[in-house]
């Protein structure tokens, strides 16, 4: 079972349980390279909390039967504290959000969007150094959602990577395929989501397979 699963099932708690050796090894190695890691998080999965989770758990097949509702005030406070504690214990550099769709049909989309903005704002007020990697179609949240929250949206507006590019663009040249892939993404961000050009993310370093002449990463 992964650490993320243990956190969601309340089998591992920051400040209560020790960091697993495999995770600690990665953190220590990153520190030797003077870089910080980010934690990949699915906010709407079914987080448990000793009976209190009934305030936010909803039945939905998208999360393997149970999703968390961002509209729940109880979940907002629980999740915010969990994020703060985890970042402090592990000394990570930020979070990468994904699969943050609003599955709760009992509340308005705005209530869930607004609560998500509140969580992010409060998280950055507590730990202003964190970097936010916004994915899951965050372009639909509006550019102000990621520009003002230490982050950026997905450069490709999709989960594609160099291994699957040829499905849409038959070419062996990674940069050519990347450019073809980004053109519709940039157009959508600029014209449909009103993002300024200086806030549209670039592709450099984003899942790109670039190696030095010696075979290692540059």
Per the structure, the complete domain to which residue 196 belongs is given by: 164-218
Instruction: Examine the pLDDT at 217 and tell me if it is beyond 60.
Output: no
Are 132 and 198 in a shared domain?
no
Of 2-16, 130-144, 184-198, give the range with the top mean pLDDT: 2-16
Question: What integer best gives the mean pLDDT of the chain?
Answer: 85
What's residue 160's pLDDT?
59
How far is the C-alpha of 47 from the C-alpha of 82, rounded, in Å? 11
pLDDT for 212 beyond 90: no
pLDDT at site 211: 59
Kind plus residue range of the DSSP H or E element containing 181: helix 174-187
CATH of the domain at 103: 3.20.20.80
Residue 207 φ then ψ, to 5°: 60, 25
- Residue 122 pLDDT level (bands cut at 50, 70, 90): very high
Q: Which residue has better confidence, 32 or 139?
A: 32
Q: Return phi, psi of residue 132, to 5°.
A: -115, 125
Asked if the model's pLDDT at residue 218 lies above 80, the reply is no
Does the residue 159 lie in any domain? no
Predicted TM-score of the model (pTM): 0.84
Q: Is residue 138 part of a domain?
A: yes
Q: Could you tell me the two tokens for 215? A: 């075979």
The residue-averaged pLDDT of 162-174 equals: 64
**Mean pLDDT of the region 197-205:** 69
- SS3 of residue 188 by DSSP: helix
Residue 193 has pLDDT above 90, yes or no: no
Range in 6-10, 106-110, 125-129, 195-199 with the lowest mean pLDDT = 195-199
Residue 91 is predicted with a pLDDT of 96
- For 80-102, how does the pLDDT look when each residue is reduced to its tens digit (9 = 90+)? 999 999 999 999 999 999 888 88
pLDDT at 162 over 70: no
Task: Indicate whether 69 and 126 sit together in one domain.
Answer: yes
Q: What single-letter DSSP state applies at residue 218?
A: -
17 and 110, same structural domain? yes
- Give the pLDDT of residue 114: 92
Q: Could you give the number of structural domains in the chain?
A: 2
CB atoms inside a 10 Å sphere around CB 182: 19
> Which residue among 136, 154, 172 closes a domain?
154
């Amino acid at each position: 079972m992964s650490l993320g699963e243990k956190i969601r099932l309340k089998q591992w708690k920051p400040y209560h349980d020790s960091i697993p050796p495999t995770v600690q090894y990665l953190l220590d190695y990153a520190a030797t390279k003077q870089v910080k890691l980010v934690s990949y998080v699915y906010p709407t999965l079914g987080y448990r909390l000793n009976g209190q989770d009934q305030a936010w758990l909803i039945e939905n097949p998208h999360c393997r039967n149970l999703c968390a509702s961002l509209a729940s005030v109880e979940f907002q406070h629980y999740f915010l504290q969990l994020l703060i504690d985890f970042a402090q214990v592990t000394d990570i550099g930020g979070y990468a959000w994904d699969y943050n769709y609003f599955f709760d049909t009992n509340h308005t989309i705005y209530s869930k969007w607004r609560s998500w903005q509140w969580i992010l704002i409060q998280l950055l007020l507590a730990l202003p150094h964190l970097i936010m990697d916004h994915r899951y179609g965050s372009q639909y949240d509006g550019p102000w959602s990621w520009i003002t929250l230490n982050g950026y949206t997905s450069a490709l507006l999709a989960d594609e990577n160099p291994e699957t590019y040829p499905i849409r663009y038959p070419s062996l040249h990674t940069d050519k395929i990347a450019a073809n892939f980004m053109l519709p993404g940039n157009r959508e961000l600029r014209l449909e989501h009103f993002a300024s050009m200086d806030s549209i993310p670039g592709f450099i370093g984003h899942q790109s397979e670039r190696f030095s002449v010696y075979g290692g990463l540059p």
